[in-house]
Amino acid sequence: MAENEKIEKVAAEKKADGMAKEHAMIESGRRQSLGKRIWKNRWVYLFLLPGIAFVLLFCYGPMYGLVVAFKDYKISKGILGSPWANPWYNNFAMMFKDKKFTAAFFNTIRMGLAYIITGFPGPIILALLLNELRSRHYKNTLQVIYTFPNFLSWVIVGGLMTTIFAGEGVINSLIRASGGQTYYSFRSAVINNIRDIIIQAVISDDPETVWNDFVNEHREEGDKLAAELTEEFLK
């Protein structure tokens, strides 16, 4: 019994010594300067730099543009060159006085509520339905189809919609090719041909003539189509 007690006592002393040393190491680490701790873990911090740079550049950097709300912004002078609004709340006062502000405000609330109602339970229901499918190949195919739009930029989506549904787009071109009539928009013609207009204006000696020729060409087409649609409507 005495020998067992001696062994237990020695073990307890070793455990106490180990805990004391561990505590001392922790306290020593706490007393180390910030620079020493950073240098000690320098490789860990090095791996953090790309993520920190990304957040600063793309999350905090664009927030500088918020100062435009308090400036009398002039596109020719830029953000830095534009003077500050006088008074500082002038832009907000103009917004609140706008006749369309109330409609825009409540439309935003309605859209937000509609998104919450449809966007929250919708994915959950879809996930439950996909989980009930027995065919793994069919399930994976549907998952790819449903998640693919998340990887498309809204710029690309907007470009596709413009190309398909614009006045000079695919749908209207097919309708006109089949003998039908479509609504003509001079603005859509400008949007669809803006690149060609800019290129021709740059290489031309008289950019104003290029623009005037474009306006006259499409205005005649637009006026003609408008007259035809008016005549058809009055029949």
Quick: pLDDT tens for 128-144. Answer: 888 888 888 888 898 88
> Has residue 219 got a pLDDT over 70?
no
Q: How confident is the model at residue 233 (pLDDT cuts 50, 70, 90)?
A: very low
What local confidence, expressed as pLDDT, does residue 17 receive? 67
Taking the C-alpha atoms of residue 235 and residue 95, their distance in angstroms, rounded to an integer, is 44
Give the per-residue pLDDT at 54: 92
d(CA 120, CA 123) in angstroms, rounded, equals 7
d(CA 169, CA 183): 12
Domain locations in the chain? 98-135, 152-235
132/18: higher pLDDT: 132
The alpha-helical segments, DSSP class H, found in 85-153 are 90-97, 101-119, 121-131, 136-147
Q: What stretches of the chain adopt beta strand conformation (E)?
A: none
Run of H or E including 72: none
Give yes or no for a contact between 171 and 165, defined as CB atoms under 8 angstroms apart. Answer: yes
pLDDT above 80: residue 223: no
Of 197, 191, 186, nearest in space to 220 by CA: 186
Q: What is the mean pLDDT of residues 199-212?
A: 70
**Residue 170 pLDDT grade (very low, low, confident, very high; cuts 50, 70, 90):** confident
Q: Does the pTM exceed 0.75?
A: no
197 burial type by CB count under 10 A (0-12 exposed, 13-18 middle, 19+ buried): middle
Tokens of 84: 């500050």
Residues 6+ apart with CB under 8 A from 65: 79
Instruction: Tell me: pLDDT of 82 over 60.
Output: yes
The pLDDT value given to residue 212: 72
Inter-residue contact 82 to 71 (CB < 8 Å): yes
- pLDDT per position as a tens digit, 152-162: 887 888 778 87
- Rounded CA gap, 76 and 82, in Å? 9
Q: Provide the pLDDT confidence category of residue 107 given band limits of 50, 70 and 90.
A: very high
pLDDT at 55: 92
Per mean pLDDT, which range of 13-17, 109-113, 140-144 is the poorest?
Answer: 13-17
**Mean pLDDT, the chain, whole residue set:** 76
Backbone angles phi, psi at 16, to 5 degrees: -65, -40
Peptide bond connecting 83 to the previous residue in cis, omega within 30 degrees of 0: no
Please give the share of the chain, as a percent, with pLDDT higher than 90. Answer: 6
Contact between residue 217 and residue 186 where contact means Cβ atoms under 8 Å apart: no
Q: What is the DSSP letter of 84?
A: B
Is 40's pLDDT higher than 60? yes
